[in-house]
Amino acid sequence: MMDTFRSPLSTRIGAGLAALGLLTAVGCSSGDADTSGSEQSGGEPAALSITPEDGAAEVRPDLPISVVAESGTITDVQVAIAGLEAEGANEMTGTLNEDKTEWTSDWTLAPGSEVTVTATAENGDGEETEVVSEFSTLAAEPGRRLELQSNFPTSGETVGVGMPVIVNFDLPVQNKAQVEAAMEVTSEEPVAGAWNWFGDQMAVFRPEEYWQPNQDVVVNLRLAGVQAADGVYGIENHQLRFEVGRSQITRIDSDTKRMLVERDGEQIQDFPTSLGMATTRAYTTTSGVHLTMEKYDRLVMDSATVGIPEGHPDYYKLDVDYAVRFSNSGEFTHSAPWNNQLGEANLSHGCPNLAPEDARWFYENSYMGDPLIITGTDRELEVDNGWGYWQRSWEEWLDNSATGEADNTGEAGTAGSPFSAAE
């Protein structure tokens, strides 16, 4: 379940949303609402309207809730979904305009839910008027329900300073700007960041620069009610919490054949290595900004997985220890006790070879998302090869965002809007 991040009361009013997942909004006003307690000794009672109107059914979940004070000022808005307690992620927030006469929900509503909106306003004498609107939202149809398939990192993990947020969906997303706007990233140390899409089912968030080390990051995937494609709605919200650990940046130079490890700004290791022999493209180590992705204490390396099948003159199959992956083209750092020219010649099939104890140290001291920067070869890392997302400049990254805008991870909300246009 997701936690809600609130802005100051002067700009936002939290509305308790008892919902496990999505949020859906629509429109009309409630004129026959309960105004008990509004009799006053002086001044006209405050007047309120709510959209969607009381009694509305099959309201589109991807339209906002609106509360308008025709007279008086809004003092409170609560949004609840029947049967669920309003806790943390189930809170709906909204934005109140400067003169406190209009409140609009920030997020979409859960499909197929019963919603109650309770709004309060007061007149100049401080006397209150309460209006209630109860309505139901359109259900998401089977086969047209967008769900989260997987994400990296997962909650509770400690990651390196280069770690992106990777979200994979089970269905294609056409309305990418709306889905981007529904995914909120906040961090203790604010940065500018943005989403890019790799195909129609994978979105990746990356900050402009590496994360500051030793901080918590929270990702609120407010997907419930977002219309991801025509008639396809998100059905559940999710929250991801992870920790950015110490800063560890590794640099490998093909020319010097050295692997230098820097921890929190200080060099702590200098290992001899041997990179790809570069007799073919497959045997050429990729240059660029890589990220460590996963690691194995023992791994079978089979050239058939990179297009060199058994029976080919260059075929190999090796058992290696302390393997740390940094691309999807078969590249790992690993122990290579058979290579007696570490630091002297590049003789591998593409992987940086290390002495057994050096490989073990790197294996034991690597987090997922640690930057590993390789220079000196003529094979450039592709942006979609593994997690090569830092290969794009920040300007290119923003150009490839559906909203075209950066998020500030120190503030609530996102660039763009999760709502679809009303028909």
Helix (H, G, I), strand (E, B) or coil at 397: helix
Is the peptide bond prior to 207 cis by the omega test (within 30 degrees of 0)? no
Token pair of 226, please?
A: 């977002």
Helix/strand/coil percentages in the chain, nearest 5: 5, 40, 55
d(CA 16, CA 12): 13
Amino acid code (one letter) for 127: E
d(CA 253, CA 243): 30
Q: How many CB atoms are closer than 10 A to CB 87?
A: 13
Rounded alpha-carbon distances, angstroms, from residue 320 to 254, 302, 313, 360: 21, 11, 21, 11
E-state strands within 303-409: 317-325, 332-335, 353-354, 371-375, 379-380, 407-408
Q: How many CB atoms are closer than 10 A to CB 15?
A: 24
Q: How many CB atoms are closer than 10 A to CB 107?
A: 33
d(CA 129, CA 326): 61
d(CA 254, CA 379): 12
Q: Are 83 and 162 in contact (CB under 8 A)?
A: no
d(CA 274, CA 176): 43
CA atoms within 13 A on the CB side of 2: 33
Q: How many CB atoms are closer than 10 A to CB 68?
A: 18
d(CA 77, CA 116): 10
As annotated, the active-site residues are 334, 351
d(CA 323, CA 416): 41
